Structure 1
């Protein structure tokens, strides 16, 4: 079981003969839900070009909502784990429309050159109102040396199912005396059935 603050590391080795981008997908299960994450990496063959890398982490302010749903605020942290600065950085979400898309003049751009560098973290927020359990994916992209870097961060927010509707009828309350009378009547019927059975036999 992968616990909080744990980090599991895996390696895979293959021979490549040309430039290629591959995708690794990690899956896990929690409370009956499939949690997944994809990561891309590009290996350049034949030219001394450094491939770009980008990383995005998306976190909602709540993971569960009551029946009927509500508003969720997502926080996105975009970083550059590579060694080459990224230009034309963009951030989008398939279920939240408040993100800027192409990013220009971000306050996290320390040297104000519109390049996401390895020592910078660019943060974004987006609000969305949901009424049912929703999985949404944040996507960050950047460019360097003629290559595209992309990363995806899916998140699921659970919405409780609706309860039974209130019919508006008052609950019927029975007195103690009435309840005792009902029980006595049932016992009387059982006794009568036993007597009749004995007479028939």
Structure 2
């Protein structure tokens, strides 16, 4: 562009080197609860049972607003675990709760643990059965945990590896152990059956893995089951992986559309008209 003395020119500069904004997804919480009744059986009939609940943070962020709700036993009282007394379930803490009730017949009790972090909730469910009035029958227990890696993905998603572990918090071995996941298959057994007898012993931890390609935020549930003494037991593990939403489209730079941005066009037109008027006045003074 050539500019002569006294000339006025109007230019629009387009900045096209702005990168797309990066959307950082929030990391979801992850909690795990185990419930064990004592005793597991009341062979002589009705009696008192104390449930012990062990709550852990198996994620990567502290968890707040933790609640424990049982369907047939209350109140559930925390007795230990909050080491620094901040009411946050930290990564290094294990919270212990108890609840006592009287059972008059064979009964299955459920508890739902919930916690929050980064505006997201985590839930875990535990159940246990106590046999009442049946001699020489002890019910089994089973427990499963699930940990995704990673817990959060950038926009577009990616591969997530789930590590799932089954343990036996009861007193008798479990047979016919199975693990299914509603949104990840196949489940691959990695290790844990130390003596190779296909029974999940109270001292064993069976590990499995599964991979999934996630494109959107996904919550999935794993179900572990096993049998002993003619009784089938189940446990659930729930985990969420957050996938960030796509970055918003950047606004158009450079010349504006009069239809989409009429106010901008009007301002630019006024500026251009003023520049032309100023140029005309200056030229007349030089005549």
Return the structure number with greater strand share.
Answer: 2
State whether structure 2 residue 242 is matched by structure 1 residue 158. yes
State whether structure 2 residue 180 is matched by structure 1 residue 96. no
Q: How does 1:120-139 map to 2 (within 5 A)?
A: 120-139=204-223
- Determine helix, strand or coil for the equivalent of 1:52: coil
Report the TM-score when normalising by structure 2: 0.56
Q: Distance in 2 between matches of 1:73 and 1:10?
A: 31
Q: Distance in 2 between matches of 1:166 and 1:147?
A: 60
- CA offsets per residue over residues 145-170 of structure 1, 9 Å max, x none? 11112111111100001112468x7x
Indicate if the aligned counterparts of 2:215 and 2:243 stay in contact, CA closer than 8 A.
yes
Return the structure number with greater helix share.
Answer: 1
Report the Cα offset of residue 3 of structure 1: 1.0
**What value does the CA root-mean-square deviation take over the aligned residues?**
2.2
Report the Cα offset of residue 135 of structure 1: 0.7
Report the Cα offset of residue 5 of structure 1: 1.5
Q: Which runs of 5+ in 2 are unaligned?
A: 1-87, 256-267, 275-287
Q: Which residue of 2 aligns with 1:116?
A: 200
- CA offsets per residue over residues 38-63 of structure 1, 9 Å max, x none? 01111011122111111111111101
Q: How does 1:140-151 map to 2 (within 5 A)?
A: 140-151=224-235
Q: Distance in 2 between matches of 1:17 and 1:151?
A: 24
Q: 1:32 aligns with which of 119, 137, 144?
A: 119
Q: Distance in 2 between matches of 1:116 and 1:159?
A: 35
Q: Which residue of 2 aligns with 1:67?
A: 155
Q: Which runs of 4+ in 1 moved over 3 A?
A: none
Q: Which residue of 1 aligns with 2:95?
A: 8
Q: How does 1:182-201 map to 2 (within 5 A)?
A: none
Q: Distance in 1 between matches of 2:125 and 2:170?
A: 17
Q: Which residue of 2 aligns with 1:178?
A: none
Q: Distance in 2 between matches of 1:108 and 1:28?
A: 30
